Amino acid sequence: MLNDKTGLILGVANKRSIAWAIAKAADREGARLVLTYQNERLLKTIVSLAEELTTKPILVPCDVTDVDQVEHLFTKIGEECGHLDFLVHALAFAKKEELVGAFHATSLEGWRLAMEISAYSLPALTRCALPLMEGRRASILTLSYLGGTRVVPHYNVMGVAKSALESSVRYLAHDLGPQGHRVNAISAGPIKTLAAAGITGFSRMMDQVASRAPMGRNVELTEVADAAIFLLSGRSSGITGEVLHVDAGYHVMGV
């Protein structure tokens, strides 16, 4: 489904990352990948994971709060690949202290940081990627969560950031549609990732979803990854501005 496609995936942290599951699925489907890592501490992990892929990926450091690193990333892609067919934005961050207590206690610094990394980075990266996507009918995908549309206790400022992210998907879809590019999001059910570890009561959240979801269970990483491949491939050529829920149906429940 992704033969002869070149894609950038940001957000791989370890083997439990949704971004890594998507990377493995994209590699399986024939894509050439560029993977980023935030800092030297994570480089060893990314190098080890990369050995599992069929095609050796290009590894580039990128902290999205550093403009110079973002510019270097896309310069490197231009030099090594010449173009870009898809971009997966799997980035989110909030300070741990902002994910406990009341939402109204969110600090200005915590608000700005969560918004910059979790939401603003999507249009910022898109802007840099567009020259490499020219004429490619590219696909851009990001990851959201139900906390962007409904209150999830302790999700706090991350919920607001996900709401901004989903709105950004719609505005970007409008901007990029005339060029043939598509922008979508997946709202995944709760999965035990590194990011989820910082959310108070996450295990209880998973139990609740499993007990109330129409399918009576939580979703697997591979299910999110397969949905991502669909949205990145030409088989979803008529879909843009969409938030696809991959959560065993939990989002349809009222009580």
CATH of the domain at 118: 3.40.50.720
- Contact criterion met (CB below 8 Å) for 15 and 52: no
- Domain membership flag for residue 91: yes
Inside any domain, residue 32:
yes
The answer on pLDDT for 98 being more than 70 is yes
Question: What is the extent of the structural domain holding 108?
Answer: 6-252
Task: Tell me the β-bridge partners of 32.
Answer: 6
For residue 23, the tally of other CB atoms under 10 A from its CB is 28
Q: Which parts of 110-171 are beta strand (E)?
A: 139-144
Mean pLDDT of the 50-57 span:
97
* Total domains present in the chain: 1
Q: Would you state the pLDDT for residue 204?
A: 85
* Residue 12 near residue 23, CB atoms below 8 Å: yes
The DSSP letter of residue 197 is G
pLDDT category of residue 7 using cuts at 50, 70 and 90: very high
Kindly state the average pLDDT of the residues 41-69: 96
pLDDT score of 69: 97
- Is the separation of the CB atoms in 154 and 111 below 8 Å? no
**At a CB cut-off of 8 Å and minimum separation 6, what does 98 contact?**
106, 107, 110, 111, 114, 156, 157, 158
Active site residues: 145, 155
Mean pLDDT of the chain: 95
Residue type for position 210: A
- Say if 203 falls within a structural domain: yes
Q: Classify residue 188: in a domain, yes or no.
A: yes
* pLDDT tier, 197 (very low <50, low <70, confident <90, very high otherwise): low
**115-147 residue pLDDT tens:** 999 999 999 999 999 999 999 999 999 999 999
1 belongs to a structural domain: no
